[in-house]
Amino acid sequence: MKHKLVATFNQFVVDLHTREIILGSIIGLAVKVLAAGSVFLMNIVVARKLGVAEAGLFFLGFTLVTFVAAVGRMGLDNSVVRFVASAHVVGNVEKLQGVCRKATVWVIALCVALMLIMLALNQILAGRIFDHPGFGPVLLVMALSVPLVGLYNIYSQVLKGLKKVAQSMITLNVTMPVVMLIGLLLPVTTAREVSWIFLPSCAITALVGYLWMRRNVPAAAVADFPSSVLMASCMPLWGVMILQQCVLWSSQLMLGAWSSAEDVALFSSAQRTALLPSFILVAVNAIAAPKFAAMHSQNDMDGLRRMALISVRLMLLAAVPALVFTLLFPEWLMSLFGQEYRAAAGALVILALGQFVNIATGSVGFLLSMTGHERELRFNVFIAALLGIALGALLIPSQGLIGGAIATGVAVASQNLLGVYQVRRRLGFNTLIFWRAI
């Protein structure tokens, strides 16, 4: 029976790339469902065990670490996927090893430097910018995880470039929350205690990613990749990465600076819940991004267009039901964190609508970065980040949670709509018109 199903599928989907992206996305989707469930459950457990105020301190520290680790990766995420995929498709082991080694060394160096800066500035960050009682000790512990978060993200990108979809997504999205959940079985009651669980969870995740990378990257007598080429690709994307983090997390950081720890917890829980329908986006991109790079390097523009439109269809097919459920039952979803979190239901609806635009526009960011149009991507994200920060500064002091949700939702939507325009302009097709024959 199994062989008949496989044969029928192969006969129906005769195009090799189409078959690979569908099968890869199904695998990625299964792993991403596990990942989304793990992260969601971790947030619920943290929220329920700590209470709103202490949970807010942990979530604020977690956001800061995420932001700083992204800065420390120097924009290498997409560059690593691009160069690993192009080296892997032609069997260039020396190039593959060279990219992996240089990316790892660069990330370690910069993330360690940023960690030391965070430790040195702890009193300023915790006492003046984010003035919440008890936040200083939490930040001291969580800052130590910055190099670890940077490393396991890079290892995940290497595995993605090698088309190891499941391993990539387990490294990036599953291992840390699962280990955290195990650690949260301990009788913890404060954000600082949870931060001590977070640190070894990141270390174990980095180790898992490293071992998988070593297993999948062939050894090479000579491992070399021009630093100038890698730098030329990642430097424009470095700015993009920082701006993307601003799009995602600026509202939460502004709430941390201008509002209470309770508001941070409410907004953080709503934002992470709103991100659940976008799990399909990550699942599809994990297999699609390296194919975009490989097809562009082979000048297969028709194949690139086909893959982009197939990706949009898969995203919408899987994500729309989850989005509809979120929009219909926002209060119930937020009550899973605790009855106090029902107050964030309105923010959840706004954030979920922004994520729907993110899904419906397809993989426009990866299409631009994987095809050498980093400058256009950087412009799009700059406008979106500027808009999000401006709206946050304008709305958060008076509107609180709703103001932060509007700022983030508008920023996410505008970034992707600008991406649709740039893909149409540079690559010649419109990802929003996904119903056309391919």
Confidence of residue 14 (pLDDT cuts 50, 70, 90): very low
Determine, yes or no, domain membership for 433: no
Q: Looking at the domain assignment, is residue 1 inside a domain?
A: no
Residue 243: which domain range?
15-427
Domain assignment present for residue 128? The answer is yes
Q: Which of 236, 309, 314 is nearest to 279 (CA)?
A: 314
Tokens of 345: 């239901």
- 3 part of a folded domain: no
Contacts of 437 (CB under 8 A, 6+ apart): none
In the 3-class helix/strand/coil scheme, how is 233-253 assigned residue by residue? Answer: HHHHHHHHHHHHHHHHHHHHH
Question: Would 435 be classed as within a structural domain?
Answer: no
Q: Which of 210, 204, 164, 161 is nearest to 181 (CA)?
A: 204
**Residue 342 DSSP symbol:** G
Per-residue pLDDT tens digits for 64-102: 999 999 999 998 988 898 889 888 887 788 888 889 999
Is the predicted pLDDT of residue 177 greater than 60, yes or no?
A: yes
The verdict on residue 434 lying in a domain is: no
Inform me whether the pLDDT recorded for 107 exceeds 90: yes
CA 167 – CA 155 distance, rounded (Å) = 10
Any domain includes 436: no
The answer to the question of residue 298 being in a domain is: yes
User: Is 80 exceeded by the pLDDT of residue 369?
Assistant: no
pLDDT tens, residue by residue, 112-168: 999 999 999 999 998 888 988 899 999 999 999 999 999 999 999 999 888 887 888
Return the higher-pLDDT residue of 296 and 434: 296
**Which residue reads 């044969």 in tokens?**
7
How many domains are there within the chain?
1
Whose CA is closest to 105, among 272, 217, 231? Answer: 231
